[in-house]
């Protein structure tokens, strides 16, 4: 049975979360979330994916647990995993792979953002640029967007994911930092890229919201 809880992680001492209650889903390796594949999930024309994540395993599993996957029969347009030793991220698009070093062993939520600029991928963790490199996000047909697994059963995640947002253009680093711990749907938030918000999680309702054009205007 899927366990979804909406809570403020009092046990996590991540200062940027002070005063912000993220929508959060916990995974025990036995379940995942899946959402319909829509064009708004593709960021190959330029865009940003951001989320909070904390892995929750001690002994390394025999695979790299997947946080997010937009994939189909021809492979993943993008797949993001925490490496099995909790020492970085693995990012996959088509046949291309990228390893991003980072220490996830502190049992804290960390903010991850991938910004894609026409064959250039920048990866930020907790607001700091970790990697910027040539990389192509492939335009592959997707059967769904999975959170907590690669395809519903492969490489299940153990830990928590929160605050997933997908943007239709790259979000500036200073805005990633400024709004990481802000409810961007709040009328007073003032995120400068709201017209380009393509999807935002509502994990407390096991949902992913895709704003309509009218809502964005």
Domain count, the chain: 1
Q: Let me know if residue 141 belongs to a domain.
A: yes
* pLDDT at residue 215 greater than cutoff 80: no
Q: What is the pLDDT of residue 18?
A: 55
Q: Let me know if residue 9 belongs to a domain.
A: no
* pLDDT at residue 212 greater than cutoff 90: no
Q: Let me know if residue 96 belongs to a domain.
A: yes
Quick one: which of 25, 79, 99 has its CA closest to 56?
25
Q: What is the pLDDT of residue 16?
A: 43
Beta bridge partners of 123: 114, 131
Residue 171, domain extent: 22-216
* pLDDT at residue 1 greater than cutoff 90: no
- Cα distances (Å, whole numbers) of residue 1 to 5, 44, 64, 79, 162: 13, 35, 23, 24, 19
* pLDDT at residue 11 greater than cutoff 50: no
Beta bridge partners of 27: 159
Contact by Cβ (8 Å): 212, 195 = no
Predicted structure pTM score: 0.89
Which CATH number does the domain housing residue 120 bear? 2.60.120.200
Q: Let me know if residue 4 belongs to a domain.
A: no
Q: Let me know if residue 121 belongs to a domain.
A: yes
pLDDT of 92-151, one tens digit each?
999 999 999 999 999 999 999 999 998 899 999 999 999 999 999 999 999 999 999 999
Q: Let me know if residue 180 belongs to a domain.
A: yes
Q: Let me know if residue 80 belongs to a domain.
A: yes
Taking residues 189-196, report their average pLDDT.
95
């Amino acid at each position: 049975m899927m366990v979804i809880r909406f809570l403020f992680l009092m046990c996590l001492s991540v200062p940027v979360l002070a005063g912000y209650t993220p929508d959060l889903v916990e995974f025990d390796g036995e379940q995942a979330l899946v959402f319909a594949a829509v064009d708004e999930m593709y960021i190959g024309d330029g865009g940003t994916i951001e989320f909070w994540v904390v892995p929750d395993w001690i002994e390394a599993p025999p695979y790299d647990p997947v946080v997010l996957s937009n994939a189909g029969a021809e492979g993943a347009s993008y797949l993001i995993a925490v490496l099995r030793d909790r020492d970085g991220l693995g990012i996959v698009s088509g046949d291309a792979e990228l390893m991003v070093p980072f220490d996830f062993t502190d049992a804290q939520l960390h903010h991850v953002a991938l910004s894609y600029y026409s064959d250039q991928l920048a990866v930020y963790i907790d607001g700091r640029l970790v990697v910027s490199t040539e990389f192509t996000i492939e335009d592959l047909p997707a059967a769904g967007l999975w959170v907590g697994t690669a395809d519903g059963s492969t490489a299940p995640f153990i830990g928590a994911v929160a605050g997933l947002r997908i943007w239709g253009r790259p979000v500036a680093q200073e805005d990633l930092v400024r709004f990481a711990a802000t409810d961007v749907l709040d009328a007073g938030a003032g995120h400068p890229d709201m017209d380009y918000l393509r999807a935002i999680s509502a994990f407390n309702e096991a949902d992913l919201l895709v704003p309509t054009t009218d809502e964005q205007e």
